[in-house]
Structure 1
């Protein structure tokens, strides 16, 4: 099949490369000519493990190409995916759908054949209805089915998630859409990946409900971590104890500095706005958003407490290890490290930081933070070391070298990647999350 992927960012590029790897002919489209030129040269616009090789191999076979010309690229396509950004709209938190609707208008004006138009972007309930209306209003005379097909890709593990999904959700209103999408995903169906067919609005809501639920799990275990610190319990054992219950599950029960990234923050806000529009309050999600935002600053105060508190902080130095919202990505969107660093600099602390992939994107977000070439440069003369993102590179630091470089052997581990007993035995004053 011929597939057109409009939008060559994180979702579009990963999805397009994987579809090409399944044997489809895929063209990824983007208005950013510089991005398309770099992709043709094999330069990825994002960091995602394995993506460069996947793109390279499928470009070599001729199954994956790149274009800035939407009209030419969608000619003859059986399925056209809309995979453009839907950021939170300034001022009200609603998802900004202007890019989605602009693409729908372009598609409607350029169609030359019957096809399926698929919203891969994360969009609020009812967006597919508007996309359908826009295409119809363009005067298009071809048969078009508008389908919802949300993505469930984890940054850092996106290729595996796409090729071995827990489920594929397809929201379609007519048989034509379901038939084309079944053919698009036939390689996965043969591997017995479950496909859930729903109506379009249900599919759109599934994406938001899934992300809100995962954000709730993260926020819940973070609050349990705070309680553990008060009562002398161990949050990691609490996580294991409740996670072994199949009704709860083990995933997303790791205490830390709060969630960030491209999905959870904007999707929880968009869900709140949808619920507000339909007069159906989602008070649990509302609480999750508020608690998560306050937690990020609280983690900054936790680091301050480790160096003597706010009143003693001015003039001291803290090394931040890890800036991206999670490991194996360069994504800085709503990363907890931003609030942690701001809390420290507001208190007069000098902050030196290192991240394996995120410093280029982090630098403009943290103008007062010194970016270092490796973790040990950041640690030199530091009054405390704070681990904010659990990159593998930080799991086996040379602790003797850390002690010799740092001004004081204080570590604040916001990801619980070290054992408290081990750190005390090595002579560190060690602070972690939800552990005695």
Structure 2
């Protein structure tokens, strides 16, 4: 279990405004570092759940840590913004979703949170933004803070972006690759350094910069990551047209130390509540600043990512000999990534929806995201176990790479399905093991190794073996 010794003399009083995924994680981890923390949110149900020791979402390790920190007395939750009064640092962890009618970031919730916090700031303190925002937001919020809080210039706004990966949030908070301090004074820098002292002492590098650059770091990091993912998926499209193997291509590229192998993984593409909306907001903001051409390539990055979903549907349709009507398709996965129950912009559920609209009988199973999926997509069918999900399936589609799916025995699964057809949307399975067990195994960017097709009327769903022809 991750732990840090509590140092009474160095402990600070902190408030965390917004207790969603980012805020709840940050509040718990800051209490673990020894600080006194209050998490504040306008959502009464969320606060009630957290205060009782129950996470309103799934994240490995965090549930146990939440209960430990509540028992320690260093962590509390409230809907009353006056509970933040007197804190040394106030962390803004409010969501910045995409606008409903624009690619721009919706900053209304962030603005509202700061407006409710400002009247309670009557002493020297830091307000530290952690939300992902368009560049220029910190400058605007700093001006508002100076004019709206009783502390005036003594309430200093800084930017301290987060870099959490869902499924690894505790590790990423306590042992991050780097800390970024966007500050305008030595006092602010020293205050943040005191807050993160155990993390810094553990060897984490600190990048000290101005608030505008700190804002840009998160947008740039997410854009680069999205570009790398879409690049290998673009190569998968080329592989599909030529008969080349994208996995072998990725392996060869990974040995080049200028490129590296991390996130050079072909498949269905990225989703979630960060990458898609962040690259769109970044592109939109660049256009507002008159430098849209500089990041115009991000529009194609987004387009490549979206195409992977339709291409997955196309591959499943090919397996069904061109007609999905009435075909029983099992979708393994609902969350946008493993070790999470987050279904925001989840590629797996988007594909399931598209298959359903094409007439397929779709059954979905996910180890953690079933409740969220049922609420968002009530028209789909759901199973409570992996075995129940695949029983009677004519095509199985692995769309979120949970370990339980990776470890499944191909022969055992084969005994449950109606036909042994599988589409590996994440290149997560042992292709040879599945083929040896009699499965028609397909994956985006990987050439098929099966003979020519037999029509459905002859009792098979084996599709054409496209080796060197476009698919």
Distance in 1 separating the partners of 2:430 and 2:39? 46
- Report deviation, 1:60: 1.3
**Secondary structure of the residue that 1:433 maps to in structure 2?**
coil
- Report deviation, 1:419: 2.4
Q: Quick check: 1:149–1:203 contact (8 Å CA) kept in 2?
A: yes
Q: Which residue of 2 aligns with 1:204?
A: 215
Q: Which residue of 2 aligns with 1:431?
A: 442
Deviations 1:211-250 (A, max 9, x none): 0110001101111122223333322222222222222222
Matched, 1:284 2:297: yes
Q: Quick check: 1:145–1:176 contact (8 Å CA) kept in 2?
A: no
Q: Quick check: 2:330–2:395 contact (8 Å CA) kept in 1?
A: yes
Closer, same or farther: CA 365–304 of 1 in aligned 2, 3 Å = farther
Superposed structure 1 runs of 4+ greater than 3 Å apart:
none
Q: Which residue of 2 aligns with 1:371?
A: 382
Q: Which residue of 2 aligns with 1:6?
A: 17
Q: Which residue of 2 aligns with 1:74?
A: 84
Matched, 1:337 2:356: no
- Report deviation, 1:139: 4.9
- Report deviation, 1:366: 2.1
Q: Which residue of 1 aligns with 2:468?
A: none
Q: Quick check: 1:255–1:433 contact (8 Å CA) kept in 2?
A: yes
Q: Which residue of 2 aligns with 1:95?
A: 105
Deviations 1:320-352 (A, max 9, x none): 001111000000011111321122112111000
Q: Which residue of 1 aligns with 2:318?
A: 305
Distance in 1 separating the partners of 2:291 and 2:140? 22
Matched, 1:108 2:118: yes
**1:5-404 residue pairs with structure 2 within 5 A?**
5-71=16-82, 73-142=83-152, 143-281=154-292, 282-309=295-322, 312-404=323-415
Q: Which residue of 1 aligns with 2:7?
A: none
Q: Quick check: 2:410–2:433 contact (8 Å CA) kept in 1?
A: no
TM-score (normalised: structure 2): 0.90
Structure 1 vs Structure 2 CA RMSD: 1.3
Deviations 1:125-159 (A, max 9, x none): 01111111222221523401100111000000111
- Report deviation, 1:433: 2.6
**Secondary structure of the residue that 2:415 maps to in structure 1?**
helix
**Secondary structure of the residue that 1:313 maps to in structure 2?**
coil
Return 231-240 or 252-261, whichever deviates more: 231-240
